[in-house]
Each structure stands twice: as C-alpha cells, then as structure tokens.
Structure 1
Amino acid sequence: MAAAGGSLSHSGLRGREDEIGQIAALIAAVARTGSGALTLIRGEPGIGKTTLLTEAVVRARAAGYWAGVGKADELHHVVPLSSLATCLHGDRPLLAGEALVDLARRHDRRIWLVERLAEAIEARAARGPVLIALDDVQWTDSLSRFALTQLPRRLRTSPVLWLLTGRRGAAGPAEDIVAAAADELPASVVALGPLSDRAIGQLAGDTLGTAVDEQVHGLLEGAGGNPFLAVEMLAGLGTAAASGEPLPSGLVAGVRGRLRSLRPDTLRFLQMGAVLGRDFRFPHAAALCGRAPATLIEALEEAVHAGLLDDDGTRLVFRHDLLRQAVYADIPPSARKALHRAAARHLVSEGHQPVEAVSHILRGALPGDEEAVELLRRAADDVLPFTPGTAADLVTHALELVPTARPLWFAVGEQAIVCLTRVGRNREALATGARLLECRPPVETLGRLQAALGATLWNMDLADELRRRTEAALALGGAAPEVEARLAALRALALSRSPDLVPARAAGENALRAALAAGDGPAHVQALFALGEIALNAGENAVALERFAALSAVEPAFLPEEIVAYQHVDDFRTSERLLLKAVGDARGLREAMLLWAQGQQHLELGRLDDAETDFVTMERLEDDVRVPVQQVNARVIRSRIALLRGDRETARRHLDAARVRLAVKPNPGNTAAVRFLEAVHADADGDAGLAVDRIHRVREQGPFLRWRLLRTWVGSATRMALKGADRALAEDLAAQAVAHAERNPSVPTAAGVAARALGLVRDDLALLESAVALLEASPRPLVRAAARADLGRALLAADRTPQAVAALTEAHAAFTASGAHAAAARVRRDLRSAGAADRRTASRQRPVQGWEALTTSEKRVARLVSQGHSNRAAADLLAVSPHTVNTHLTSAFRKLSVNSRVQLANLVMALPDD
C-alpha cells in the first residue's frame, strides 16, 4: 500500500495514478473548505474498487480525517442498518455500542434515525474532517440506503466526505444516492476501466517477484485489464505448473484449478462458508458441514494458507467476493437451496433474529414450508415500522409459499395487505385482497380482510367503496367483536365524506362504544379519528378538539391533530405549548405532520417566512418517506403566501405543483383547495368571471364551511363573488360563514369573519365595524388586517376620511409586519386615494441575495451556527426541530453564496454589530 502522499507500491494500484489524484484532491478540498462531498467509485467486479477505497482511507487518515469504513454484504441486505452500521463502530467508534443499540430500538422512525446519525457525524466533524467509506453499496440494506440518500445533503455544510464503491450496471442504490446528493453538494463518479497492458505487466511483476516474459504477457491478455482476475490467473498459473494442467481461461476455472489441490474437507468447508456469505463464523460453517469445529481446524488452516480466506479472530472472510462467488457457483443449484434452508434453521436455533435468516429463507424455502413462512412473517413484523417496503416483499413471498385457500393463506394475505398499504402500494394491496376474497373465506376471515383493506381504500380516496364494503361485512355478521368494531369505525370514517353528517356522527358514536366494549385499541383509535374528522367537516371545532384530544391521549402519534384542533378554536397558546412539547420530545413522532401543525401556527399568526419554511421542510420529509399526506395543501398555502408577498411567478409555480399532486390524491378536500387557489389566482389576474366559476366548483365538493382550509378566507371569496356580480353566491357564502360562527360561538375569528362577510354582502358599515371589533379578540393578524382594510375602504366611500385613514394605516402596518407586501401595496393605494400616503407607509421587500435577504429566523440560525453550534444545538435554543434548522441553513447558504460553516462564520464575523 502506498503511504499518503507517497509513491504507489504493488498494492493493486498500478495504473490508477489519475484516479488516486482525483481522490486525493477531494480529500484535500473537503478538509480545506469545510463542506461536504460525495464520490462513487464504480466498476466491474475485481477492477480495483476496494483497493482504491482502502488507499483513500489511508490517505484521509494521514490528512487528519476520522474515517469510518464498512462493507455491505449480499446476504445481509435485509437486515436494517446493517450496511451503514459497519461504518460507525470499530476501534474508534463514531457511535458507542449503547448508542447503536438505542438506534436499533428507535429505527422504526426513519427520519428520527437519520437525524440522530447526522447529529453524531456532525459533532465529530466539528473536531475535524470525517470520511464515511462504504464498499459494495449495491448490496446496502434499504434502511442504510434511505439514510445514505439523506445524510450527505443534511451534512453538506460540514467537512464530511462520503466515499462509496459500487458495481457497474443498471441503475440501483449507488445511482440513487448520487442523484439525491447531486443538486446540493459536489457529487462525482470515478469510473474504473480496464488497466493498460503496461499496468497489468507491472502488476504481474509485483505478484511473481520477477520480470514477466512474453509468454506470461500473452496469457494475461485473457484478464481483459481486470487486476483481480490477472492476479488469480497468475495464482492459477502456479497451480497449473505444479499439476501439469493448462492455464485456466477464466476466473471460475482459475479458482477451480486452485481448489483441486485442496483436501475434500477443505473444499466442503469453503462451500459451506460460501453459502453463509462473504463473511461467516467458523462454528456456523462447521454446523452446515455436520462436523464439530475441532475436526475442521486443518481445513480452516489450509483455506487461509491458500489465500482464499482471511481470519480476523472473530469472523472468516473470503479474500474477495469473486472468490466466494466462484466457490458458490460450483455447488449444484438443488444443493444450494437445501443448504440455505439449513443455514436459516441453524441461525434461528442459535438465537438469531428471523430477519438475520431471511436471505437464506428467500433462497432455500420451497412451497408448503410453513416454518419458513412463519419466519418470513416474523421478520416482516420486525421490519415493517422502519422498512415497510422490505416487509411487504417478505410477506408477499411468504404468501407465495402457502397453498391457496388454506387458513394460513388468508392470515398471511391479511398481513400482506397491511404491509403493502403501509408502504403505499395500495393497488397491489387491493389486488391481493381481491385474490383472497375470490376464494370465499369464512365469514370471520372475510371481516378481517375487509377491515385490513379499510386503510387501503381510504388512502385511495375510495370512501364510497369503503362504506359499501364495511356495511356488507357488518350485515353478514359472524366476525369477532374487535373486528366488527374496526369495521364500524371504518364505516364512520367513510361517512365523514358524505353530504349528511348526522348519520355519520351517530355511526361514529356507535363505533366508539363498540370499540370500548371490545377493548380493541385499533378500533378505539379509528373511531375517535372518524369522529374528529366528522366534527371538522361539520364545522364543530369544539367537538373536534374534544375528539382529537382524546385520540392523542390514547395514541400520542396524533398530537398534530390535537394541535391543529386547538388552532381552530383560536387557542394558540395551548397549541404553542404542545408544539414546544413535541419539539422537545426525542421520540420525534410523525415529524412531517408536526411540521404541518407548526406551519399552520406560524401562518395564522402572520409569520409568513417561518410558515413557508415549515411547509418546505414538511414537503421534503414527506418526499423522503414517500407518504404524501399534505402535499397538495402545502403547495396551495405556499402559493397563497407568494401571492400575499407579490411574487406571482413563484405563486404560479406552486399552483402548477399543486395540480400535479392533486392528480395523485384527488379527494374532495384537495380538489376544493386547488379550485379555490385557482379562484385566488384568477382574481389576482383580474378575471372575475373565472374566479366565480372556480368558487362554484369548490361548492360542488361540499358545503363551503366543511373545508377547513377556507374558513378564514370566506371574506376573500365573498369579495370575489361580488366582483363577479354573483350576488347569490356572495349571499350563500356569507350565510355559511354565519352558520359556522353559530356552531362555534366561543371562537372570535368565526364571529368576526361572519360579520365581515355579511358586511360586504350588505354593504353595511356597521357590520364591518362590528367585524373589526369582534376580531380584536382573534389571534390572527392577517384576518384582522383584511377586516380593517375592508372597513377603511367602506369608510372612504362614506366620506369618513380620518377614520378610514386610521383603519387603513393599521391594516398596512399588519400586512407589512407579516411580509404580505402585495396586500400592503393594495392598502397603500387606498391611502393614496385618501391623500394620506407618504414614505412611511411604503413597505420595503427583502433583496434576494446577501445578509439582508435572510429572514429573521435564518439570521438567528446563521449566527448560532457561525458560533459553532450544531443543528441540534441551534434547534434546542430556538425551540424548533433540527429539520427546520436545516431548511433555514440551506436557504441562508444559498442567499449568502457560501458552501461551508467556516465560510458562514467568516462572513458573520465581518458583519457590523446590530
């Protein structure tokens, strides 16, 4: 191995001088700039990827890096975090053993896990540059792959170099990881091609210890420039010379030539090891041989002496995976299946978790193997919370092993529906359910299957079909009490989308009683959620709060729903307290939904900058876990924020994105939200007719008051209806606002919004004054500002100029304070018409680049990070999530044109004191 900065030796790096130069420059750049980078070393097996990676690690350590080195394994790709964990422990662990155990307990929350890993790496990077090196990334487990698509972006502002190796071929994990990082940090690919004839000749000389003659040169042409194959052919040359056999023409043949000189016991031992994987334990291989370990010591010694295995004192490792594959290829296929099945049985008998035996089950189980089915089901249960895709694959494979229409087939099928739905493969889940139901299961089983399909149908926005199925299953009877309770709760949820919510409410109450009587937790949760949805859709905010508070007490994961329910009743103090509690909760439950609740808090309190950050972060997290719950509504709100700011181009872009996302989840609520946003855009464009048309299309989705997104926007909708000369629509909207206020007599915002809508419809100055007075008790500054603006315009029309100027000035100040510059500009025009506008009323928008382009929160984060605080430390000080800090920091880096924390610190230090 060449020393760092020195010349290359015969370590297999002959002919790789250019690639080593690239890697060395990258190591120096990350250390110098303090910002992250990612590189993939890609090439065919045996081309020298591992050797180059090893050389990079040596050079990085010599340059002062902490280096974590790991290797993914083909037979461990199902075990969650198994690949990346190999990079995090060792002689100098990045995470101590206890911390890794803690991660193992909590890795059912992927976003939480990534943040925990990021914090550990970030803390280490604060003391010096870090190298994370992972070999054979094509075999990473799904949880490690998920982390590797997130961590480089999350840590791009820290000196962390990610160095991966992967085989050349079709798109896979390596390409996904590079693509995920490419837009946010330097991401490159080092492609290793065949070595030159000169380099192969030098390598041969290094191996043989003598000059290479023309005959050997000719023989090595068969290596095709592959250094590992060349070395193996040279080793085969020595074996062939001793045995009088011709030189092998390929790798498998070359290894066979070497194996022929081994004793039968050694060959059998190597084959058992090849079944277990590239690395394995001596007692496990002995067990597959059916021998006591002591009787195989000579076989082990011979395999190590032959250069086929390395022994680190704990595990045996094939010197190269190609060696293992060549040995494995000589085992007859039928024998392989039996050996893999035996390996799985042995691992489980030794106390290993089912997931650790799954790779062998997948290779060795035959139809009808109920023991294998049970292991696959247990493994699926274990991995479902954090790698639901893997769980779905395991249980669908288990389903294939069970004969059709057997009781076990239905049980496995029910589990498959749950797993497939969890990962978002809803159509596959529905198709699986159809297959099961076609076989006419017993009545009790049918009820369980329909209950399992409930979440699938709800996710697919098939509320009518959900109602039909649950009613049919309940009518049949015969299901267990807990199953009937779940079906009743699902029926109530389906009815929450119906025009008449009175039967829905009764169904929900009945379902709740049934759930409590059956003592079934899932039915209890489902019934409370259905009742909360029914109350929200009926506009009964106090009742919704009661339901969601009860739900959160039963299942803390629904805390975001409780927080939003408090916002609906204008209790922002309690919602703030709960948000702070959630941010400080290390469990990090449902991070995306918590960000949704936090974004709503900031939006309604007029903090547009922070609301925008929350919705951006929420959308990113939903994209990361591929669970698009609030994507449509987030884009609708971001578009509305952009219009308030006067950024028409950005607003239009968000509208287009909302329409795309609506096509994925076209439920009535999402449809109403997008149609209303289209009305707002049409109004901004001066197209009153189109605006009115879109509001009518909103009403087609259900009564206006049912859609929580629109509750505080009734005044805007009423103004649009009046502009479009549709007085009937305006009166209907006002009437619904009044009905909503009557349902919520203790909510100041509801009463004020209703008075405003009525005042606009009736052109009633007294009602508009009443609206402003009522909204004094509302915590929503933008709602108060809009009412004052309407009052000011009405006062101007009534020639009460002094009072009009006062109302308009207050409205202007509120819009300006929130950053609603377009709304402020409209009020400023009204002030000019009253002869009251001066330079003090002008609102100055932020520039797009430089320190003054940063929002208040971005400046706070920038100052804290420049002082040496980690993302977690800054989040704790600001009482927000690390994900929010990361979004602020990303925006600050872009606006300041910096790439690292060092550059940020230098810039902040040069700023004048505030």
Structure 2
Amino acid sequence: MAGSGGSLSRSGLRGREVELDELRTLIASVPHTGSGALALVQGEAGIGKTTLLAEAVARACEAGFSVGLGKADELHHIVPLSSLAACVLHGDQPLLSGDAFADLARHHDQRIWLVERLAEAIEARADSVPVLIALDDVHWADQLSRFALKQLPARLRTSPVLWILTARQEPAGPAEEIVAAATEELPTVTVPLGPLSGAAIGQLAGDTLGAAADERVRDLLDGAGGNPFLAVEMLTGLRNDGASAEPVPSGLVLGVRARLRSLGPETLRFLRLGAVLGRRFGFHDAALLCGQPSTTLIPALEEAVRAGILDDDGDQLVFRHDLLRQAVYVDIPPSARKVLHREAADHLVSAGHRPIDAVSHILRGAQPGDEEAVTLLRRAADDVLPVTPGLAADLMTRALELVPPARPQGFVVGEQAIVCLTRAGRNREALSTGDRLLARRPPMEVFSRLQAALGGTLWNMDLADELRRRTETALAVGGAAPEVGARLAALRALALSRGHDLDAAREAGETALRAAITVGDRNAHVLALFGLGEIALNAGENAIALERFTALSAVDPAYSPEEIVAYQHMDDFNTGERLLLQAADNAGSFRQAMLLWAQAQQHLGLGRLDDAEADFVTMERLEDDVQIPVQQVNARVIRSRIALLRGDRDAARQHLAAAQKRLAAKPNPGNTAAVRFLEAVIAEDDGDIGLAVDKIRQVQEEGPFMRWRLLRTWVDSAIRTALSGADRQLAEDLAAQAEAHAERNPAVPTATGIAAQALGLVKNDLAMLERATALLGTSPRPLVRAAAHADLGQALLAAGRKPQAVAALTRAHATLAESGAHAAAARVQQVLDGAQAGGHRAATKQRPVQGWEALTASEKKVARLIAEGHTNRSAADFLVVSPHTVNTHLTSVFRKLSVNSRVQLANVVVALRDH
C-alpha cells in the first residue's frame, strides 16, 4: 500500500482496526482449538488487502505459527501449482524443500495424489506447531492451486492450520469456490474491505506528508474514493512534485504518470518491458527483451527502485503493487503489447524456461498462422495434461484456433485437442471438435487417426453403438497406419462388449490383441486387454476376466484396481488384500477413485459394512473433485442397500434419489440395471411387491448381459421378491441364471453356493438349501453365508426341525450383527423369537447416533490413533487404508462426538480411558 515513502506498516492499517481484530481472533483460535479455519479478505484493487494480510502474517509469526506466504500473479496463473509453490517453499522454515517440491511436481500424475502429498507435508508441520498458509490475490491462482485449495482446508480441518486468502470481489470466482468447499467442514470468515472513511484517509495524508492535510489536499483526496493505495500514490506525487501534480483520467492510478515523467527514457522503456513480463520478472529476462546487455540496464533499474516503482528482492524484480504495473502497462499501445508479449515468449523459451512459462504471453500475443506459438502451446499442454487436463484442453483449443483451416497441421493439433478435452471430461466438446475436423474430409490415414482419438470420447459418453459404427467405418475405409488400425480394432471390440453377441465380441478382442502385440502399440494393447476383460465380465467368466485384467495391470499399473476386483470375484480376497497393500505403497501410480472402489468392494465382500460405506463416500468425493464420475451410480446403489441392512430407510431412499439423478447423466446399461434393481428393493421395502417384481423383470429383459455383473451376490434377494409376487417364471429364470453362472465359475464357492441356494428357494428344496450352506462354508463372504443360513433356518422350521433351525438362524443372526447389518439381524431375530417361543432372546443392539458408542469399529480405531498423536498418513499406514478414508472416518468421528479438533478428541479418548 505504501508509495515510495517509508514503511506504512501501521499507518497502512488506518481504518482497519475492526478487520484486524477479526483476523487476530481467528489466529488465536487455531492453536487453542487445534483445528483449522479459513479467512477470505476481499476488496477492490488497492483497498489494502495485501497490507492487512502482511499484518496478519506478522501477528501469526509472533504467536508461534509456521508461515507459508505466497502471491498469485496475473501473468503466471497458467503455470500449474505456481501460486501454492510460494506458500510451501518460502519462509524461515519452508514446508517443503525446493528439491522435494521439484520431485513432487516432476513425478505427479494425478491431482488427488499431489494434493494428498501436500496435505501430508502441512499436516506433519502442524503436528508440532500451528501453520498459516497465506495466499495473496487468489483470484489469479492457477488451476491446480485452486483445485488444491478447494481440497486442503477440509482435508486438514482436524489440524491447527489457518488459511488466509485475499481476492478481489468477483461473483462466483475462485475465492468463492474455495470458501464454499470449506464452509461446511471448518470455520470460515469473510472479511470485506470497503472504502476508508474520510478520517482514516486524513490520517494517511498526515502519515505520508508529515503534516495535516489542508483543504486543497483533502479535495484532491476525494478523487481516491476511499481507496488507500490511490490516496497514497496521489500524496506521494504531491510530495515529490509539489502543486504540479495533476489528476489523470479515471481508471488510472493517480500520480503515477507524474512520477514516470521524471524518469529517463531508458528507465521508462525498461519499466514498460518489465510490465509486459508480469508483476514479478527476472532482470535477465527484461534485458533480453530490451535487447541490451544486463550491465547497461543497471542505472535504469536503480532509478526505477528509487522512484518507488520496483522492489528488488534479490531474486526477482517486483512492481510494488499490481496497480503500479497496470498503470505502466496500459500506457503501452495495444498493438505494441501484442508484439512485446510474443517476443517475450520467444525470449523466455530461448533462455531455458519451460513452455508453460511462456504460454501467458503466447495467449496475449500470438496471431493466426503462428506455427511457433502452436508448437509451444502443444508442448505446454503435454506438460500439464496429467494434473490439469482442463488447462491442457484450453491450451489446445487455442492452438487449434491459431492454425488456419486450410493447413494440414490442423488435423494433428486437432487430434491432440480431442485427447486433452476427453481427459478433461469435456466429451461433448471433444466430439464436436472431432466432427468439425472430419467434415473437412481429411485423407484416409488422418480420418482413421481422428476416429481412433474419438474412441475414448464415445466410450465415456456411453455411445457404444456409435463407437462400433465409427470404428467399423474407419476399418472398412482402410489406409490407417498399423498402430492406428490396431487401436481401432481394440475400440471396436470394446464397443461390442456392450452388445448381445459376446462370442463375436470375444473373437474381435482376440484379433485386436494379436494386432496390438504384432505392431507393438501400447495404447492398442491396453485397449484390447481392457475390452477382453469387460467382455469376460459381461459373460460371467470370472477366471478369464482375471486373466485379462492381470495382464492389463502388468502393461499399465493404473489398471490394478480392475485386477483387484477380478480377484474378489474369484473369492480370492487374500490376493486382493495383498494388491491393495502394494497399491497403497505406490498410490501415485493408480487412479485413486478406482482404487477406493476396489478397497470398498473388498470391505463389502468381507462384511465390513462401515468400512465399505466410508470408502464409497470417499470415492464419490474424489470423483466429484476431478469431475470424472465413473462409479457413482453403483456406489449409491450399494450404499442404499447397506442403509437398508442397517435399518436406515431414509438414507436408503436418499441414496436412491442420488443414484437416479446420476443415472440421468450417465445412462449406460450397467447403471440402468443397477438403479432398476435398487428401485425394486426399495419398492419391496415400501410393501409394493408388484412394482418390485416389475423392476426386476425390466432388469432381466432390458439388459440380460448385465445380469452376470449385477446379480452375482444379490440373485437370492431378487428370487425372494419374485416368489413374493407370485412370479414363478421370473424366479426360475433367475435361478437358471445363477446356475449358469456357477457353471462358468466352478472354482468359486460363492457362485456354486448361491446357485444351490437359488434352486433351493425356487423348488422349496430343503436338501438343496443345506447343500448351499455347505458349499458356502468356504466362501469368504459373510453376508452371503448369513443369507443362506437364514433361508435354511426358515426351511427347517417349516419342516418341523426346530433345533436345527434355531442353530442356523442363530448363526445367521450373529454374522449379520457382527457385520453391522442390524436391521437384517433384527428380522432374523423375529423368526428366532417365534421359533424359541419364550426362550432366551439374543439382543440385537442398535448403535446410537451420538457419543462414543455411535462410532463404528473403524472409527474408534482412527479416533484412538489420532488421539495418540498419529497423522492421517501414519494412521492410514497403521490401518492399511487410504489417508482419504482416514479423513472420512475422522470427519464422522468429529460429528458424532461433537468435537472440533484433535485436542478435544484426545481429551475425550483420555476421559474414556480413565473411566
């Protein structure tokens, strides 16, 4: 806020006493509670945000905080993580060393993984001292920093971490998004800075001029509109130039032109070129742009510093305020700015900067036909695609605009644009881009490449028939390069996996795999194996699916989650657990949300309902974070069934509504079948058996190939519904399906046992139900075993074999209760009560909603570990789960115990231990 005069650390806060007290209170609360908080300081340019932030940082340092302070930059907002980098790398004790940060940035391949590593670094520091992360001008933060800032405050809410951000007031801008993401998770405060009062402006005048302002000065200051920076600049101009200072046109910083007029021509030129480079720029870069040796510009630098326009921090030159830079920048004619930005891009690249560092200048200075600019944008897009696919898509969209339509280069650039747009989840835009390029009637080889590039787009959009049509057309046209032909063949097989002729799909997949291996194309190899895995799953051939997905994860470890789930389908949960452990050690190599899906399926299969629920919740949040929904419909269907097993009917219906909403956005056959089945389950729970039967019949008729995937372990439930609705034909169809599935998977106890159970239910065959429980004796799935024992128990009662019935029902009850399926256990208990007729009744204890006993077993483990001083990472390592899952558990613990910090949690745990 200061001009060229001395420090205004106190006078710069004139009129901000209330706002400073609000921040001071927040600073004091964080170490006291041991939990996080966030403050946003908002106001127009020059209103005093930076000065208030600097004072807050000083107060936090005095209070013993470890501080990370950074500032986002208008011209550097393209560079991924550049804004947060300053926060974690600067200060007396940086949160990360430069080498550690460089390694992090170099090896990251997923946004979620990167954010988690940053969270661990901050959490580790907060374990010994409260932490302040302060970021100025967050409205200019790069996309990856903004993404991280929307995750980190909530992720670290249980640690003493204070976030203070400043931003200009922008409706629905980045700052508002960050605050909205944190609001329900931790205390948030917005501190608006309005215009200063006349009295405060008068005090500023006295501080700057060394005397009280006279009437003439007060009249002049009215033009500042209560903006302290403009007022100080006007006062500085008066002090330097006396009565000669003249107001300048509205929209420019008052007094700046007067100050610039006193500077030499070389200094003015140096400042203008520096303003093109940004608020912070390197002296050497400015010299290159000036076209002069650095030594000849030292006098210009010294004069700019003396005039109060620039600061020299030893590493870079910095305009003292954004408005100062803008005042210098707007005096450059617009046409000259474009040329200078374009030259700046060339100089930065030739000086060894990364392409992404030059992109801001390319976007401002490139003209259509600029091939060098297109090349730079393409290189930059490649660099940022793994962590900011949205930015990569923006860069490639701009690159495509710079290529004149008649040039063949447009097809190459367009292909890359399609890939980036698809990775960013902007599938409709990718398809539109591809179709525009195809409308230009490209050569056959290019036609094939574009159709292959659109393959992932169409698959993401669930347009399997269109994918098949396009790939078959491209293959029929011919002219494709061998590797492109192999990809097209693999994509065709993948599309056929959603059809009814799975034999033809399998043959196509095998052919595609041979072609991929022959040409040595990794992309084609991955696509072919993935397609063959999908085909095997849809055919109910679990062993073959495992073989395909094991081969796939060997080629691309990112597909390890599919391999893990394939082992689960084979009842091999031990191998699944081992692979999950390996994945936890190499989390950066996998798709985090899919890995959580595999972990949730592991817990679900082993009857750990609470842990499965936590993983599904976390998985859905991560998919929301990256805006790429894959398993959200299925997760909600499963969570609804878990809720019914627990007895939470309201939650079950909420999950159904969420699943239906997500189905509308992704209506593929699998999602449709899953939601229809859930609608049947809810309808039966509501007592509408007719509707329930109709929904199950829809599943059977509309998506027969999905039956193998959907009803593996739920077919018994569907059969009971069909029998309740007196639809014997449907029940028999379901039983035949279970038998066919068992024939395909004779080595899977769950498959053979459920087939016997299904047949026993349909035929009311007691011997077959007994065989089912025997076969399921080696199944690792407790809920499946419990259901079979419950069916057997009721059949034994009907046969008059009460002792054996009570034994079977008691076993079912115990298993269900141990898994947390309290409502299901209660239903079995009712049957037991009738069987025992006044005998001893085993209690089914319902879990309360608040207090220590409301916590699940996993939540209690997490609570004890955190109370002992563990971080989320160390607790996750101890429990062999994801840190994301620990955070989900911990959030639930805080809610159920009504605590807001780790300190309060530790007190609760200690008190329980003492009693």
Which TM-score tier does this pair reach, normalised by the shorter chain? Answer: over 0.9
- Alpha-carbon distance, 1:827 to partner: 1.0
Aligned to 2:38: 38
Does the CA contact (< 8 Å) of 1:233 and 1:248 recur in 2?
Answer: no
Alpha-carbon distance between aligned partners in 1 of 2:223 and 2:616, rounded to the nearest angstrom: 58
- Residues 194-246 of structure 1: CA distance to partner in whole angstroms, max 9, x if unpaired? 0000000000110001121111111100000000000111122245537x454
Question: Are the aligned partners of 2:700 and 2:707 in contact in 1 as well (CA < 8 Å)?
Answer: no
Give the deviation of 1:706 after TM superposition: 3.6
SS of residue paired to 2:588: coil
- Mapped contact 1:805–1:836 kept (Cα < 8 A): no
Question: Does residue 316 of structure 2 align to residue 305 of structure 1?
Answer: no
Contact preservation (8 Å) 1:447, 1:473:
yes
Which amino acid in the other structure matches residue 237 of structure 1? L
- Report the CA distance between 1:107 and its aligned residue: 2.9
Task: Quote the residue 2:262 is aligned against.
Answer: 261
Aligned equivalent of 1:66: 66
Aligned-partner Cα distance in 2 for 1:912–1:375: 62
Normalising by structure 2, we get a TM-score of 0.98
Give unmatched runs, 5+ long, in structure 2: none
Displacement after TM superposition at 1:584 (Å): 2.2
Amino acid across the alignment from 2:79: V
1:384 paired residue number? 385
Greater mean deviation of Cα atoms: 615-624 or 829-838: 829-838
Sort the Cα spacing of 1:203 and 1:476 in 2 relative to 1 into closer, same or farther, 3 A.
same
Higher mean Cα deviation, 230-239 or 642-651? Answer: 230-239
Structure 1 partner of 2:450: 449
Alignment-mate amino acid for residue 833 of structure 1: G
Partner of residue 534, structure 2: 533
8 Å contact 1:671–1:701 — kept in the other structure? Answer: no
Alpha-carbon deviation of 1:10? 4.1
CA RMSD of aligned residues (A): 1.5
Change (3 A) 1:498 1:306: same
> How far apart, CA to CA, are the structure 1 residues paired with 2:838 and 2:465?
56
Does 1:137 pair with 2:138?
Answer: yes
Amino acid at match of 1:701: E
AA of the residue aligned to 1:65: F
Q: Is the 8 A contact 1:405 1:441 kept in 2?
A: no
Cα offset, 1:591, TM superposition: 1.3
- Give 1:169's aligned residue: 170
Greater mean deviation of Cα atoms: 567-576 or 502-511: 567-576
Three-state SS of the structure 2 residue aligned to 1:841 is coil
Asked if structure 2 preserves the Cα contact closer than 8 Å seen for 1:232 and 1:254, the reply is yes
Distance in 2 (CA, whole Å) between partners of 1:556 and 1:567 is: 18
Aligned to 2:17: 17
Which residue number corresponds to residue 635 of structure 2? 634
- The alignment covers a number of residue pairs equal to 909
Letter in 1 for 2:353: H
What is the aligned partner in structure 2 of residue 550 from structure 1?
Answer: 551
1:473-872 residue pairs with structure 2 within 5 A?
Answer: 473-587=474-588, 589-703=590-704, 706-835=707-836, 838=839, 840-872=841-873
Amino acid in the other structure paired with 1:57: V
Distance in 1 of aligned mates of 2:569 and 2:247: 81
Which has the higher mean CA deviation after the structures are superposed, 718-727 or 700-709? 700-709
Partners of 2:97 and 2:170 in 1: how far apart? 36
Conserved in 1, the CA contact under 8 Å of 2:434 and 2:454? yes
What percent identity do the matched residue pairs reach?
Answer: 75
Q: Which whole-Å CA distance do the structure 1 matches of 2:891 and 2:794 have between them?
A: 41
- Summarize the Cα distance change of 1:913–1:761 in structure 2 as closer, same or farther, 3 Å threshold: farther
C-alpha deviation, 1:682, in angstroms:
1.2
8 Å Cα contact 2:777/2:785 also seen in 1: yes
Preserved CA contact (<8 Å) 1:280 1:317: yes
Indicate if the aligned counterparts of 1:857 and 1:888 stay in contact, CA closer than 8 A: yes
Note if contact 1:705-1:736 (Cα within 8 Å) is conserved in structure 2. no
Distance change in 2, residues 1:913/1:703 (3 Å): farther
Quote the offset at 1:248 in angstroms.
3.8
The C-alpha deviation readout for 1:662-687, integer Å capped at 9, x for no partner, is 11110000000000011111111221
| Structure 2 residue identity aligned to 1:31 | P
| Matching residue of 1:436 | 437
* 1:127 shift after superposition: 1.1
Unaligned stretches of 5+ residues in structure 1: none
- Answering whether residue 436 of structure 2 is matched by residue 460 of structure 1, we say no
The one-character-per-residue Cα deviations of 1:46-101 (angstroms, maximum 9, x if unpaired) are: 00000000000111101111111100001111111100010112232111112101
Preserved CA contact (<8 Å) 2:247 2:254 = no
> Greater shift after overlay, 657-666 or 832-841?
832-841
Cα gap change, 1:405 to 1:451, in 2 (>3 Å): farther
Which residue does the alignment assign to 1:76? 76
Change in 2 beyond 3 A, CA 1:487/1:249: closer
Letter in 2 for 1:472: T
Residue 296 of structure 1 and its aligned partner are, at CA, apart by 1.5
| Distance across 2 between alignment mates of 1:547 and 1:306 | 70
Q: Is the 8 Å Cα contact of residues 138 and 173 (structure 1) preserved in structure 2? A: yes
- 1:817-874 CA distances to partner (integer Å, 9 max, x unpaired)? 1111111111111112212565542210111111111111111111111011111111
Which deviations, in whole Å up to 9, do the C-alpha atoms of 1:295-325 show, x marking residues without a partner?
2111111111110000112211000010000
Amino acid at match of 1:24: R
| Letter of the structure 1 residue corresponding to residue 27 of structure 2 | I
Q: Secondary structure at the match of 2:687?
A: coil
Which residue is 1:348 aligned to? 349
Give the distance between the partners of 1:527 and 1:79, measured in 2 at CA.
36
Comparing 157-166 and 248-257, the one that deviates more: 248-257
- Label 1:246 to 1:581 Cα distance change in 2 as closer, same or farther (>3 A): closer
Q: 1:432 to 1:765 in 2, by over 3 A?
A: same
Quote the Cα distance in structure 2 between the aligned partners of 1:611 and 1:788.
23
Note if contact 2:640-2:653 (Cα within 8 Å) is conserved in structure 1: yes
CA–CA separation in structure 2 for the residues paired with 1:67 and 1:838: 66
Alpha carbons of structure 1 residues 869 and 468: separation in structure 2 relative to 1, 3 Å: same
1:467-518 deviation per Cα after TM superposition (whole angstroms, max 9, x unaligned): 0000000001110000000000000000000011010000000000010011
In structure 1, the residue corresponding to 2:296 is in which secondary structure? helix
SS in 2 for 1:712: coil
CA distances 1:438-461 after superposition (whole Å, capped 9, x unpaired)? 000000000000000000000000
Q: Does the C-alpha gap of structure 1 residues 506 and 586 become closer, same or farther in structure 2, counting only changes over 3 Å? A: closer
Counterpart-to-counterpart distance in 2, 1:245 and 1:897: 61
Q: Distance in 1 between matches of 2:23 and 2:821?
A: 49
- Counterpart CA distance in 2 for 1:912 and 1:293 is 69
Partner of 2:89: helix, strand, or coil? coil
User: What is the CA–CA distance in structure 2 between the aligned matches of 1:265 and 1:8, rounded to whole Å?
Assistant: 30
The residue type equivalent to 1:12 in the other structure is: G
